[in-house]
Amino acid sequence: MSLSPKTLLSCWCWLVLRRYDILTCIFTIIGYTSLFKEHTRHVVPSYNSHHPQTKTKLLRNAVLSIHIVAGLLEISLWYFFTLVTGQRPTAGTFEFILCLTQSITSLILVKHLARGYPILTRPSYQSGSVCRLVVAGIALYSQSPDWHESATKSVNALVYTRLLIFYIGPLMKTSHEDTASPQEMYNFAVIVGAILALAEGPIRNISSTYVVLVVLNAAFERWSSEMATQPHMDASEKVLAQSLLSSGFVERETINKVQPEFFVAPQPGDEYIDKKDSVNHDMEDN
């Protein structure tokens, strides 16, 4: 009998709440592996058919694979050392490199993200990556098991987000059978998934700090977008604008305006993308 990703993720969430470390470790590995399998079977072929350019699809597929594997390895190592030694481990250089890899690949993937409401969804992902890096840096410097656990378990935002996407639709029906749009569901799942993952660790107030970062990042991207589209800039402003455009810390449409040759159009038929956005870019492609 094969278990669906939905069933596996449900079991994982229950085990996390009960804090059964051995079973949680097993279901964490199975859950991440299942997500990776589903991505390979469905998302990759669909993406490749929309982006025939070899460089684009190879880069995106490689980055996403590295992103998932780094996260899986990071959380698996934490559970392994916890179960073997009976004590929570402290951060090492290798663990920090895994966190750095997972966070940087997340920023690369989010740069052209069109799902949900990009004006809020992209800052939500970006703030989570930055927050994770800061917590991991503190964990490495302080050698605190608490900070290391908080940094490591925040990677579970990936699983929490998928779990919320699976269940949020049926739960958010009104008496008139109205439901939230797929874009609203996706945006909600990304933000709440990150909050749940950051709150899973023992360090308090990380999740509230994340919420503040999301708001500040969204405001910063509005400012950086205005700055990057100015007709006249001095040398230092041009360097700053190029850095922000390259890292993706501008609004998504700004990349299309300033660097159209690097812009990745949204995938047609993706239910989590606003139809207007998909139609507009289809017209541009034609």
26-35 burial: b if 16+ Cβ within 10 Å, else e: ebbbbbbebb
Q: How far is CA 94 from CA 42, 98, 135, 144, in A?
A: 32, 6, 15, 16
Burial of 37 (0-12, 13-18, 19+ CB in 10 A): exposed
Tokens of 242: 């190029």
In the predicted structure, residue 1 carries a pLDDT above the cut 50: no
The Cβ-side half-sphere exposure at 31, using a 13 Å CA radius, reads 30
User: Which of 204, 159, 202, 166 has its CA nearest to residue 182?
Assistant: 166
Determine the residue type at 185: M
Tell the burial category of 183 from Cβ atoms under 10 Å away from its Cβ (0-12, 13-18, 19+).
buried
pLDDT tens-digit profile of 10-28? 565 555 545 556 666 776 7
**SS3 state at 82:** helix
Q: What pLDDT is recorded for position 23?
A: 67
Number of H helices, E strands in the chain: 13, 0
Interior angle at CA 35, CA 31 and CA 41, nearest 5:
140
More confident residue, 166 or 204: 204
Among 114-118, 205-209, 214-218, the range scoring the smallest mean pLDDT is 114-118
Quick one: pLDDT at residue 284? Answer: 44
Is 169 exposed, middle or buried (CB count within 10 Å of its CB: 0-12, 13-18, 19+)? middle
The total number of structural domains that make up the chain: 1
In terms of pLDDT, which residue wins out, 13 or 155?
Answer: 155
Structural contact between residues 244 and 272, judged by C-beta atoms closer than 8 angstroms: no
- Reading the block at residue 66, the tokens are 């590295």
Q: In which domain, by residue range, is 240 found?
A: 5-285
What's the CA gap between 207 and 197, in Å, rounded? 8
**Ramachandran region of residue 9, left (φ > 0), alpha (ψ -120 to 50) or beta?**
alpha
Quick one: pLDDT at residue 233?
Answer: 86
Range among 27-31, 71-75, 209-213, 271-275 rated most confident: 209-213
118: enclosing H helix or E strand: helix 118-142
> Looking at the whole model, is its pTM more than 0.85?
no
